[in-house]
């Protein structure tokens, strides 16, 4: 049972809906720890291969940190896996899609940036406004955004705290697709379905290779070291590594095992 989010599982897809609409889906410590547990379970479940995270209602994906809770003297803490259990979760190679349905402010934007894909409603708005309240976007925003869109574009958002529309987010490069608000979840599920057509072992190897390769000192080092990455090694040893070529040879749809 969960109090601050809803969980739906359909086949190999998990959808997590942050559900605190009364505070624009802002998160306080109890919600953060609950979501951390939800994504722990997703990461450990061999039958769940892709996740979508979104917000309840039409107004907000997440307004970030619950400032009213903080101002009231509520005890502040964050799980080791970070804000929403995602912003410091570096060991999970399963893809996570952010379906941004409205405001994604501060920590809410940082949750989206921690996901692998961002699908945004045309009503979505993004910002890192922490300096307006004497804070800084230290849950990954100050580091992920420059890596994704370049330092000048990122600092243009960070140093002004300005709001960016979904369309501008796409032009800047951190949004994958913008769709009408009523079509958001359909679009997010379409992206998930395309991922689920592929070998989950290959997807995990690919995600891990991208993440670790970007941290290597050079392209040469990334190419050399990628064969030692755990998810790449697991792919080569998996049943899917045999099933893919076999299905291609037999001209049939592969039956992925994810192991």
Structure tokens at 200: 């989950």
The gap between the terminal CA atoms of the chain, to the nearest Å, is 29
What gap in Å lies between CA 232 and CA 254, rounded to an integer? 20
Considering 34, 110, 183, 216, which one is annotated as catalytic?
110
Tell the residue number behind the tokens 């997440």, with chain if given: 62
Considering 47, 130, 167, 255, which one is annotated as catalytic?
130
**65: DSSP letter:** B
Closest residue by Cα to residue 63 from 14, 16, 112, 97: 112
**239: DSSP letter:** S
- Paired with 249 in beta bridges are none
Instruction: Give the Å distances, CA to CA, from 119 to 28, 75, 122, 124, 163.
Output: 25, 33, 10, 10, 17
Q: What does 48-90 look like in DSSP terms, one character per residue? A: --EEEEEESSSSEEE--B-HHHHHTTPPP---TT-GGGTTT--
What gap in Å lies between CA 122 and CA 35, rounded to an integer? 26
Are the C-beta atoms of 84 and 18 separated by less than 8 Å? yes
Active site (annotated) includes residue 177: no
- Paired with 164 in beta bridges are 126
Active site (annotated) includes residue 130: yes
Q: How far is CA 50 from the centre of its chain?
A: 10
Active site residues: 110, 130
């Amino acid at each position: 049972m969960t109090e601050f989010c809803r969980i739906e599982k359909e086949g190999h897809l998990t959808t997590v809906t942050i559900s605190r609409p009364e505070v624009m889906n802002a998160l306080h410590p109890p919600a953060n720890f609950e979501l951390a547990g939800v994504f722990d379970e997703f990461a450990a479940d061999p039958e769940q291969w892709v996740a979508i995270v979104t917000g309840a209602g039409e107004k907000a994906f997440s307004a970030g940190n619950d400032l009213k809770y903080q101002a009231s003297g509520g005890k502040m803490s964050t799980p080791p896996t970070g804000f929403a259990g995602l912003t410091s979760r570096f060991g999970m190679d399963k893809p996570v899609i952010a379906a941004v349905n409205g405001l994604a402010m501060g920590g809410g934007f940082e949750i989206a940036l921690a996901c692998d894909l961002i699908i945004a409603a045309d009503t979505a708005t993004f910002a890192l406004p922490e300096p307006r309240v004497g804070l800084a976007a230290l849950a990954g925003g100050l580091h992920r955004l420059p890596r994704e869109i370049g330092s000048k574009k990122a600092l243009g958002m960070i140093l002004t705290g300005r709001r960016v529309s979904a369309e501008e987010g796409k032009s800047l490069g951190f949004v994958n697709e913008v769709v009408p608000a009523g079509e958001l979840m359909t679009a997010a599920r379409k992206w998930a379905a395309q991922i689920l057509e592929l070998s989950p072992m290959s997807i995990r190897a690919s995600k891990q290779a991208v993440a670790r390769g970007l941290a290597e000192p050079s392209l040469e080092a990334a190419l050399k070291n990628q064969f030692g990455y755990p998810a790449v090694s697991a792919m080569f040893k998996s049943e899917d590594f045999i099933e893919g070529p076999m299905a291609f040879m037999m001209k049939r749809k592969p039956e992925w095992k994810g192991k």
